[in-house]
Structure 1
Amino acid sequence: CCVRGLDWATGDEIPKAFVVLKVNGERPLTAETLMEYVASKVAGYKRVREVEFIAAIPKSLSGKILRRQLQLQQDKPVEAARSTRSRL
């Protein structure tokens, strides 16, 4: 799991969790369940507002999470939408 601030045009950073699911016999984890759990443990402004399930979290050779790479992947659709609007 990795949590990043989601940069919007307003400059706000909204906490978004990137989660890799483990396959096991228990009931599957849902985004709502995860958000409710986190909300019960942290302050209101820190609660996760979005959850994205991904296949793997990018890591460096030393095993550290590459948070910047996740941020860049998240910003690609926003950049594409901005460039499309500017051409119209």
Structure 2
Amino acid sequence: MSGKQPKSKFRRKVSYVWNGESIRALREHMNLTQREMAEELEVRQQTISEWETNMHTPHRSTQKTLSMIAERVDFKYQANAVGEPPTPAEGD
């Protein structure tokens, strides 16, 4: 045995960094207002606004939640290299 652990097919290795444009695109894809999105994520409406204007970025745990929500609502985005934000897929 080589000592290497087999990679789990259930564990995602891609790390997304969400920016204002992609957060707004996800929210609009879900047909939510900033207030409704804030309720979904249990944050203030002002926080959503600050994310969408790139004043602040979501914490890593919130970014993971955004990725899970995006998958749940079939939001098509391209996985870019680590450190680059996701972008809506072509044709959306």
The bucket for the TM-score relative to the shorter chain is under 0.3
TM normalised by structure 1 equals: 0.25
Q: Which has the higher contact order (CA 8 A, sep 6+)?
A: 2
TM normalised by structure 2 equals: 0.25
